[in-house]
Structure 1
């Protein structure tokens, strides 16, 4: 019996700094806020999917340290099945996040720490977890070879595969053919296809390029302009869902991916799952932080019912 979502990715402790601007090199400026909380794309997507009602297993590596303790507590509270290797010789990952205190825009530096050592043997150890899920999700914060191997396991087990090519690092070209869904944002899509995504027509053109490389469906997230769902013979622009003032876009993409995966795992059709993902992200951007911003299923359903 296949059910739920399995996610391969990294956990990092997000250290977020609110300020009016980024300091120049050699300059110190005064910030207006600070927080430490759980983060990392895979981890954020895990919490988003779990809060959106899915059964979720998260596959990763952490260090035996304070940030690692934060990870364990986060998954316990969210009811996530954490498949974590704990390392003694590597720290848990961490991220520096600058958030502009008036626009909510962000800039991020990520150090994967222990999760940066995820390799094919770690993925093999999680083969059963991946193969028994309905939907598998991964990204590029851990090494691309590990992501590719996990996608291959999922594909061979007839598990629906979602690949979020973020950050926009290079990866083996044969990954495309292992993706039922590829979900880049407009910046990542531009990097993959080699031209800017300024208009919906550009996004459709990028979708065509991704399909030509072997992807099943390309879903390009366009920030406040919503999402382009691009499948063979079908291209649909799904508008963003507004749930109030946007104050922090840091976890928006992860909220979308987690919500989308959760909806698919419960049997929603792909377009319905995109709308569910848009509602999930629409709520998340009205709150500060990444993991703490992820909405509960009841909140998403209320937005979907409007």
Structure 2
């Protein structure tokens, strides 16, 4: 992750991030400006996000400045019009054709943005709004249900996601799980690892969507670009983030004893996969 480090970047947060491994972070010092700050707030299921300082945009052309050249997967959160600029930059780099995971920014998930979204979808490998955002874009009724979420995925695919229409839609749906669909594969639901019956495990959902899509990118690397299989990793990734306020605790022993919050990520993936298999029988 490329991080613009303003002159007021808290040292304690930097050290906490580095505790996960310095290979994960590319800090780009901004000595003459402060760090971009924003307020992320929730009222029930409704999320509100607003910048408190001028935003400092990061684009694919910035990656070489921190010795990152051509990552296999690129996840970005922005408006549809900015997404179009990002994919244009990507196409301008010879020999680079990453899997693109696009998460529409919440305040642009309105019907007025739908024409711009349609224009960029053919250049997107995976479109992943959350359920409320998807329904807002398409003027479908709230609150979300499995029926309306599945309808939304079909509509997005009808607009043409990915090159030749071979892209995917993954609608993140909180406690309902995630709905995964492509034109070539029938839609299926992957459960949330923690569900309503596990309420004591769900402490703070801030960052759940970002961690879900980070887990999806990791799953794509591990499972040979299989979006459906990668979604199990995505759900598990989100499960660790929502168990506390702030970041989960990483403990590293040997390679086989790496744990998050005292639990094995792979064991959670296996358990979630087993739950899915039981639900199909």
Regarding TM over 0.5, the answer is yes
> 2:205 matched to which residue of 1?
249
TM-score, normalised with respect to structure 2 = 0.71
d(CA) in 1 for partners of 2:218, 2:88: 21
d(CA) in 2 for partners of 1:147, 1:126: 16
Cα–Cα, structure 1 residues 146 and 98, in superposed 2: closer, same or farther, change >3 Å?
A: closer
Cα–Cα, structure 1 residues 138 and 204, in superposed 2: closer, same or farther, change >3 Å?
A: same
> 1:222 matched to which residue of 2?
173
> 1:284 matched to which residue of 2?
241
> 2:33 matched to which residue of 1?
90
Q: Is the 8 A contact 2:217 2:230 kept in 1?
A: yes
Pairs within 5 Å for 1:122-161: 122-126=59-63, 132-140=70-78, 146-154=82-90, 157-161=96-100
d(CA) in 2 for partners of 1:214, 1:71: 41
Q: Do residues 111 (structure 1) and 51 (structure 2) align? A: yes
> CA shift at 1:74, angstroms?
4.3
> 1:213 matched to which residue of 2?
159
Q: Do residues 270 (structure 1) and 213 (structure 2) align? A: no
> CA shift at 1:257, angstroms?
0.9
| SS of match in other structure, 1:78 | coil
Match of 1:301 among 253, 266, 272: 266
In the alignment of these two chains, the number of paired residues is 239
Consecutive unaligned residues in structure 2, runs of 5 or more: 162-166, 251-258, 272-281
> CA shift at 1:83, angstroms?
3.7
* More contact order relative to length (CA 8 Å, sep ≥ 6): 1
Cα–Cα, structure 1 residues 292 and 241, in superposed 2: closer, same or farther, change >3 Å?
A: closer
- Higher strand fraction (1 or 2): 1
Q: What is the CA RMSD across the aligned residues, in angstroms?
A: 3.2
- Higher helix fraction (1 or 2): 2
Consecutive unaligned residues in structure 1, runs of 5 or more: 1-57
Q: Is the 8 A contact 1:98 1:108 kept in 2?
A: yes
TM-score, normalised with respect to structure 1 = 0.66
| SS of match in other structure, 2:237 | helix
Q: Is the 8 A contact 2:168 2:227 kept in 1?
A: no
Match of 1:238 among 170, 185, 190: 190
